[in-house]
Amino acid sequence: MSWRGWPFGKVSAPPLDAPHALLADIERQGRQYLDAVDNGKWIYPACTRASSDAGVDKDAICNHTRLEAMRYLLTVPRGEFRLLAEPGSQPAILDAYLRQLPHDQTVIEFTGNTMSDLAIAVIAGFNWLTHCAGLAGADRRTFSGTLNHFRKVAMSAQKWWEMKGAGERYAQLLQAQQEPPLFLYLVWADYTRLAEEIAAAQSSRRA
Q: pLDDT for 168-195, tens place per residue? A: 999 999 999 888 999 999 999 999 999 9
Q: Is the pLDDT of residue 167 over 80?
A: yes
Provide the residue ranges of all domains of the chain, joining segments of one domain with +: 18-206
pLDDT in tens, 91-138: 999 999 999 999 999 999 999 999 999 999 999 999 999 999 999 999
pLDDT in tens, 16-60: 789 999 999 999 999 999 999 999 999 999 999 999 999 999 999
User: Measuring CA to CA, how many Å separate 146 from each of 13, 102, 131?
Assistant: 32, 11, 12
What residues contact 204, with CB distance under 8 A and at least 6 apart? 137
72 vs 75: CA distance, rounded Å: 5
Place 6 in a pLDDT band, splitting at 50, 70 and 90: very low
- Predicted local confidence at residue 142, as pLDDT: 85
Average predicted confidence (pLDDT) for the chain: 92
Is residue 191 within 8 Å of 201, Cβ to Cβ?
no
> What pTM, to 2 d.p., does this model score?
0.92
User: Measuring CA to CA, how many Å separate 116 from each of 45, 111, 113, 181?
Assistant: 26, 7, 5, 20
